[in-house]
Amino acid sequence: MSDSIVAMIPAWAAVLLGGVLGVLIGSFIGAALVRLPEGRSVLRGRSSCDSCGARLGPFELVPLLSFIMQRGCCRHCGAAIDPWQTAAEAGGALVGVAAVLVAGDAWAMLWAALLGWQLLLLALLDLRHFWLPNRLVALLALSGLAHGLWLYGTGADLLYEVLVGGALGFSGLTVVALTYRALRGRDGLGAGDAKLLGAIGLWIGPAGVIATLLGGSLVAILGAVGLLVAGRRVGAHTALPLGSALALAGWVVALLSGL
């Protein structure tokens, strides 16, 4: 995409385009959030109400707008629309808008949005199901390699910023997990967390991995504090979605780095 063409688009139109595209991607992410854990195809099958099974028409599938117009309920049975779907659509729009506002040029916008939407799906899957599917993490890793090849070519920078970043992300959390298991006699981290940080490392390099790990740890701590404030008990056996925290921190680090 030529930057000269993008420069001809008014700033407000670019932001609007990013938001509209983002909310459409977010709608797809919301469907994946429900269907993937059930082993169903995301690409095939018509959308239906989760409560009554009624097939949804075109006007009931407009992201966010349908939720507002129907006051958050299915018009067939009155059941509440899954708030996770709405969160996915809003999150997708936020990713699209942020990519336009923060990224430095047209290609950086596209890469930032691609990374953000992938991390959004993984974050929501981990937050809701404590699940980081290997195939989605692998797709994130492959797109990170593609981004590295586009950015650095095949020189030494590719080896350091991409491959070393991926290796550091994976090995760093793997060592932490093995050490915890040796000291406590049980698992403290999910196997998917190390794979996720490794995939993120392919996008943002070793320095970004360190920043992501620190930021993700802070987000996880704030999440635990939030549970305590809400009256939930938090202890050594409380499961926390570290992958979600890493995904959020990783995307922020990527945006700040300019991709």
What share of the chain has pLDDT > 90, as a percent? 55
* Pairwise pLDDT comparison (161 vs 138), residue with the higher score: 138
pLDDT confidence tier of residue 200, bands split at 50, 70 and 90? very high
- 8 A C-beta contact, residue 91 and residue 124: yes
Q: Please state, in angstroms and rounded to a whole number, the distance separating the CA atoms of residues 69 and 124.
A: 25
Reply yes or no on whether the pLDDT at 219 is more than 90: yes
pLDDT tens per residue across span 228-258:
888 888 776 777 899 999 999 999 999 998 8
The residues facing 48 across adjacent strands are 55
CA-closest candidate to residue 190, choices 116, 126, 125, 115: 126
Using alpha carbons, select from 33, 18, 229 the residue that is nearest to residue 127.
33
Span 175-180, average pLDDT: 87
Q: Is residue 71 over pLDDT 80?
A: no
Higher pLDDT, 4 or 225: 225
With bands split at pLDDT 50, 70 and 90, how would you rate the model's confidence at 186? Answer: confident
Round to whole Å and give the CA distance between 99 and 216: 20
Spatial contact of 192 and 138, defined as CB atoms under 8 Å apart:
no
Whole-angstrom Cα Rg for the chain: 20
The number of C-alpha atoms within 13 Å of 255 and in the hemisphere containing its C-beta is 20
CB 187 within 8 A of CB 181: yes
Taking the C-alpha atoms of residue 134 and residue 196, their distance in angstroms, rounded to an integer, is: 9
pLDDT at 222: 93
pLDDT for 59: 67
Which tokens sit at 43? 């690409």
Reported as a pLDDT band with limits 50, 70 and 90, residue 45 is low
